[in-house]
């Protein structure tokens, strides 16, 4: 049961950081900090609930659906472990073998699976806004695990937790986010969160990767000169070149296709890119003493980052991954806690006979019905294509 929700969190969904206040972001991070000892699985999270005999975990008897319509390694595994370590049952939706292939819309898919009894949907989707649309169509909690180049809130939160551990604070920092900003939901969620927390974000990359940022309402600082920016940096976050999200052209002839299987791409030369933006040990030495290196993964070793830096003493890349489980434990327990309170306060209709709690849940609200027509069909435009993710 999601009983131990800290006071002060009222949202049943986590869709992005743009809408959260600094206080809400800190609340999530503080909750994640408490989950950290349980995040590695070495201490069972069900012990969180107290004394022996060990009671069920905070999400015992809860069901979480992982609705991933893009490839994923870290994020799917991390959400799965987070939910399981809280005691929940996790359903893994396989887009490639589902009725999305038979033209069922995403919203119908979500509502049908919810009708079997769900408490949370974790969704990754190639269409911007898909998590919001699903949240409006269902009654359970919805957590965004990445939508197009829009938001990836739990990734940014885990970045913040790792930064807070290694740098001791989240205000007054200068953080360079380097690479394919244009196609990065990670960059956008980091910008929203870090600027609210009082830090400065500089987006760094070649001009084609700094285009298309008009969707960001917050002020955006950009630079094409990594070496000039580095001396100001407390943290450097490297991004993968996200070939699968590029829409036009192909990489400029160069580049090993087997390693970077682009179906299309922004025109640029991989060797030029490495010369200007690869994080090497020599370049990193220009950053502030004690500066840390982050990467959301998956890493393209030898492209945006050298092995020496990725595996070096300033890299916190694997610590980010560990923080991810704690952040997702916090996000799931807070959101499902808010859902639980909403369910408890919902008044049964006077015309309906008393129902069991689970049946009541199934009978209330069909808010998103009208939205079905406007789309989010199937698994989105990425279907049938190679789509990488983390
Ligand atoms: C990122 C993503 O999928 O947006 N990775 C992640 O979730 N850890 C970044 C990427 O795919 O390069």
For the domain that residue 165 is a member of, what is the CATH number? 3.40.50.1370
Q: Which domain holds residue 227?
A: 153-317
* pLDDT tens, residue by residue, 258-284: 333 333 456 678 999 999 999 999 999
Q: Please tell me whether residues 128 and 164 are part of one structural domain.
A: no
Q: How far apart are CA 179 and CA 278, in angstroms?
A: 9
Flag whether pLDDT at 43 surpasses 50: yes
State the closest ligand 1 atom to the C-alpha of 146, by its place in the atom list counted from 1.
Answer: 4
Among residues 108, 95, 99, 101, the alpha carbon closest in space to that of 145 is found at 95
Where are any strands of DSSP class E within 79-171?
89-94, 120-125, 141-147
* pLDDT tens, residue by residue, 178-190: 999 999 999 999 9
Q: How far is the CA of 56 from the centre of ligand 1 (A)?
A: 33
Q: Please tell me whether residues 279 and 180 are part of one structural domain.
A: yes
Is position 14 within any domain? no
Q: Please tell me whether residues 178 and 279 are part of one structural domain.
A: yes
Q: How far apart are CA 82 and CA 330, in angstroms?
A: 9
Q: Please tell me whether residues 30 and 128 are part of one structural domain.
A: yes
Would you give the distance in Å from CA 341 to the centre of its chain? 25
* pLDDT tens, residue by residue, 54-76: 446 789 999 999 999 999 999 99
Percentages (nearest 5) of helix, strand, coil residues in the chain: 40, 15, 45
Is the CB of 297 within 6 Å of ligand 1? yes
Q: How far is the CA of 146 from the centre of ligand 1 (A)?
A: 8
Q: How far is the CA of 333 from the centre of ligand 1 (A)?
A: 23
Per-residue confidence (pLDDT) for residue 359, from 0 to 100: 34
- Maximum pairwise Cα distance, the chain: 72
What is the token pair recorded at 18?
């743009």
Is the CB of 265 within 6 Å of ligand 1? no
Q: Collect all residues with Cβ–Cβ distance below 8 Å to 107 and sequence separation of at least 6.
A: 133, 134, 137, 368, 371, 372, 376
Per-residue confidence (pLDDT) for residue 254, from 0 to 100: 37
Is position 267 within any domain? yes
Domain count across the chain: 2
Is the CB of 155 within 6 Å of ligand 1? yes
Q: Please tell me whether residues 144 and 162 are part of one structural domain.
A: no
Q: How far apart are CA 204 and CA 43, in angstroms?
A: 40
Q: Please tell me whether residues 229 and 162 are part of one structural domain.
A: yes
Is the CB of 152 within 6 Å of ligand 1? yes
Is position 15 within any domain? no
Flag whether pLDDT at 47 surpasses 80: no
Is the CB of 245 within 6 Å of ligand 1? no
Flag whether pLDDT at 388 surpasses 70: no
What is the token pair recorded at 111?
């509502």
Among residues 316, 334, 331, 327, the alpha carbon closest in space to that of 36 is found at 327
pLDDT bin (cut points 50, 70, 90) of residue 351 is low
Per-residue confidence (pLDDT) for residue 95, from 0 to 100: 86
Is position 382 within any domain? no
Q: Please tell me whether residues 308 and 329 are part of one structural domain.
A: no
Q: How far is the CA of 295 from the centre of ligand 1 (A)?
A: 9
Q: How far is the CA of 155 from the centre of ligand 1 (A)?
A: 8
Is the CB of 186 within 6 Å of ligand 1? yes
Is position 183 within any domain? yes
State the closest ligand 1 atom to the C-alpha of 74, by its place in the atom list counted from 1.
Answer: 8
Is position 251 within any domain? yes
State the closest ligand 1 atom to the C-alpha of 186, by its place in the atom list counted from 1.
Answer: 4
Q: How far is the CA of 389 from the centre of ligand 1 (A)?
A: 5
Which residue among 274, 300, 317 closes a domain?
A: 317
Which residue among 317, 334, 360 closes a domain?
A: 317
Q: Model-level pTM?
A: 0.84
Q: Please tell me whether residues 259 and 187 are part of one structural domain.
A: yes
Q: Give the residue ranges of DSSP H helices in 102-152.
A: 106-114, 130-137
Q: Tell me the percentage of the chain whose pLDDT exceeds 70.
A: 77
Is position 4 within any domain? no
Q: Please tell me whether residues 96 and 168 are part of one structural domain.
A: no
Q: Please tell me whether residues 162 and 125 are part of one structural domain.
A: no
Pocket mutation for ligand 1, best pick of 68, 146, 304, 321 (most atoms within 8 Å of C-beta):
146
Q: Please tell me whether residues 158 and 288 are part of one structural domain.
A: yes
Is position 28 within any domain? yes
Classify residue 60 as left (phi > 0), alpha (psi -120 to 50) or beta.
beta
Q: How far apart are CA 379 and CA 126, in angstroms?
A: 8
Q: How far is the CA of 74 from the centre of ligand 1 (A)?
A: 8
Q: Please tell me whether residues 158 and 282 are part of one structural domain.
A: yes
Cβ atoms of 229 and 208 closer than 8 Å:
no
């Amino acid at each position: 049961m999601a009983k131990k929700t800290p006071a002060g969190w009222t949202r049943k969904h986590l869709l992005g950081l743009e809408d959260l206040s600094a206080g809400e972001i800190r609340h999530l991070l503080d909750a994640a900090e408490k989950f950290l000892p349980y995040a590695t699985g070495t201490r069972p999270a069900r012990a969180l609930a107290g004394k022996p005999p060990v009671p069920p975990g905070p999400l015992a008897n809860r069901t979480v659906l992982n609705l991933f319509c893009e490839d994923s390694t870290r994020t799917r595994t991390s959400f799965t472990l987070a939910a399981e370590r809280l005691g929940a049952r996790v359903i893994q939706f396989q887009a490639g073998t589902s009725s999305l292939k038979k033209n069922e819309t995403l919203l119908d898919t979500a509502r049908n699976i919810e009708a079997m009894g769900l408490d949370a949907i974790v969704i990754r989707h190639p269409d911007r806004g898909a998590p919001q649309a699903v949240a409006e169509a269902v009654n359970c909690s919805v957590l965004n695990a990445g939508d197009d180049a829009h938001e990836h809130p739990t990734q940014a939160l885990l970045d913040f937790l790792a930064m807070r551990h290694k740098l001791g604070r989240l205000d007054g920092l200068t953080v360079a986010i380097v690479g394919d900003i244009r196609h990065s939901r990670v960059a956008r969620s980091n910008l929203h969160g870090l600027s609210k927390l009082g830090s400065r974000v500089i987006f760094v990359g070649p001009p084609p990767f700094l285009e298309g940022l008009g969707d960001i309402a917050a002020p955006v600082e950009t630079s094409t000169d990594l070496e000039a920016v580095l001396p100001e940096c407390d943290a450097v976050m490297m991004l993968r070149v996200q070939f699968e999200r590029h829409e036009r052209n192909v990489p400029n002839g160069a580049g090993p296709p087997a390693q970077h299987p682009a179906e299309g791409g922004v025109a640029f030369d991989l060797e030029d890119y490495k010369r200007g933006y690869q994080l090497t040990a020599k370049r990193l030495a220009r950053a502030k003493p004690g500066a840390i290196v982050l990467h959301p993964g998956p890493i393209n070793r030898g492209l945006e980052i050298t092995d020496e830096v990725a595996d070096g003493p300033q890299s916190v890349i694997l610590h980010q991954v560990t923080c991810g489980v704690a952040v997702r434990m916090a996000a799931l327990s807070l959101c499902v806690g808010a859902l639980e309170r909403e369910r408890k306060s919902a008044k049964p209709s006077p015309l309906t006979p008393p129902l069991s709690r689970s049946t009541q849940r199934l009978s209330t609200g069909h808010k998103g019905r009208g939205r079905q027509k406007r789309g989010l069909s199937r698994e989105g435009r990425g279907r049938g294509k190679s789509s990488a993710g983390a």
